[in-house]
Chains A and B, each alone.
Chain A
């Protein structure tokens, strides 16, 4: 069975500090991995995705994530947090066709000025 675990439902960082949001997955087959962001009162939008090309994936707004097969992880990072990064972040895994898509429970990021 496939699943996604996001450690930390709430993360707070100071403006300018490193952002690290953790995502671990379980999958019996090579996965596709995604990070989506949900800004307040907006729909989810794609930040970045891993589709079996480069293991380090760069996304929008300075975010990046690294696929580590040995650790079954796909953690999201950003070197320097900005106030506008405050949002809910969801990790997701897909292992086949459209119905095999699983989301984590989300991590709420707060940026402290």
Chain B
């Protein structure tokens, strides 16, 4: 398809386990973002990748969170030793470039539930 895809769509895990979330951006989009959306709240910026530059990790809430991106393609967000407060929808978005006026295209999200 032509849109941003994310997998899995839903993930239930036990407290203390590690989880890996995947994002496939739109082909040709150099910028990729991860956000967290807690129930009833807005989008919380986590991390941003722009091409081959060093990612902006300023939004990651703790060192349990990390993300990687292979070139300008797939990205994975890893949460180690999950906690119940990590339960949220994790959204990925991509845009053509890093310029501020670019439209971000969002995936459907991964709904994470930590028991």
A interface residues, Cβ below 8 angstroms from B: 9, 32, 34, 36, 41-46, 49, 51-52, 90, 94-106
Contact = CB atoms under 8 A, between A and B. Distances in A.
Interface of B: 3-4, 31, 33, 35, 40-43, 45, 48, 50, 56, 58, 91, 93, 95, 97-109
Given A43-B109, A90-B43, A99 B103 contact: no
Given A98-B31, A98-B33, A101-B45, A43 B58 contact: no
Nearest to A44: B106
A50 B66 CA distance: 33
Q: Which 10 A-B pairs have the closest CB atoms?
A: A94-B100, A98-B98, A105-B42, A103-B43, A43-B106, A51-B101, A44-B106, A99-B56, A32-B101, A43-B108
